[in-house]
Structure 1
């Protein structure tokens, strides 16, 4: 079971349609480099990097920098192994371990 802060980070990372599409594309196509992913997603590389950074911080993707045959540096991304199970019990357990236990004021 994930602690509350980890679960919150994962849920925040997944709360964006671009990030869901990135995960879906990596699941379908496997490992890919940023320029190709940006072309396929129809978004700029800087925006893609922003989304990939959020996903990587949440532990959902991982990256590697590699040199191509012509000497260019390519940033590759792939899915990290993860399983996310949400039930009332897992949410209650995660909530109990949040570092900020005070509910937000509205």
Structure 2
């Protein structure tokens, strides 16, 4: 994945964060819409066809995964408007990249290997 990197996050955590963020139809539509160019929240909400509060929730998730970024700007009439744009990223999924990412995950998921060992 090529994006702004958090040097404290492992490659596995980065991949998991990106895939998790993209695993929602609204968020996929948001990224697709922003691939055509930056947009402000109200305009993007109209384009996608969802409410601004719901859009904000999804944008926060995409920002946390570093798939989009937002900037506050003042319009000509002095109104604060938040514009979002998609960041440059690339995900290459092969069995090998998934295996490597899995080896670098910072924590095992609930019910993982440790959970199975405790049940036996």
TM-score by length of 1: 0.92
- Give per-residue Cα distances to partners, 1:14-70, cap 9 Å, x unaligned: 010000000111112x01000000011111101001000100100100000000000
- Tell me the distance in 2 between the aligned counterparts of 1:101 and 1:21: 30
The structure 2 residue matched to 1:10, chosen from 15, 18, 22, is 18
Stretches of structure 2 lacking an aligned partner (at least 5 in a row): 2-9
> How many residues align structurally?
105
Partner of residue 73 from structure 1, selected from 73, 80, 96: 80
Q: Which runs of 5+ in 1 are unaligned?
A: none
Which residue matches 1:56?
A: 63
CA distance in 1, matches of 2:22, 2:101: 17
**2:91 alignment counterpart:** 84
Question: Alpha carbon RMSD of aligned pairs, Å?
Answer: 1.7
- Give the Cα–Cα distance (whole angstroms) in 2 for the partners of residues 68 and 94 of structure 1: 43
TM-score normalized with structure 2 length: 0.82
